[in-house]
Amino acid sequence: MTLHDAYDPNNIFAKILRGEMPSMKVYEDDVALAFMDVFPQSEGHTLVIPKQVEARNLLDMPSDYLGSYVQRVQKVARAVEAALSPDGLVVSQFNGAPAGQTVFHLHFHIIPRWEGKPLGRHASGGMATAEELEPIAKRIRAAL
């Protein structure tokens, strides 16, 4: 998929926003929704997606909405750090399939990192269960 294909309103994140697919939510307001990645690269891997826009990637995001959205990304990143005390955090965002994007709705990954602990591959590990994700999500929610 190219950077500028049409937005697909049936992508998995759009379905999550409409309540058609489940997610393990950690934060939600009128600007953004944050939830646990079901294919985590690390314990606590969280995704933050914008609401009320049809932006496939950062290039499609309306500029006047970007600041408030990135503030939510920072808020969730701070909560992940407070909840899990990692040695570092990866905050990343991919634009287009060649760059690694697999869901074509703008989203940021917040991935905790610990010294000496390898990172899983993007979008290719085993699927986590709700039972595995809920205790981590609860800690992040408590930090918000």
Would you tell me how many other CB atoms lie within 10 Å of the CB of residue 10? 9
Active site residues: 107
* DSSP-derived 3-state class of residue 7: coil
Query: What is the rounded CA–CA span in Å between residue 45 and residue 97?
Result: 20
* DSSP-derived 3-state class of residue 35: strand
* DSSP-derived 3-state class of residue 66: helix
Would you tell me how many other CB atoms lie within 10 Å of the CB of residue 77? 20
Would you tell me how many other CB atoms lie within 10 Å of the CB of residue 32? 22
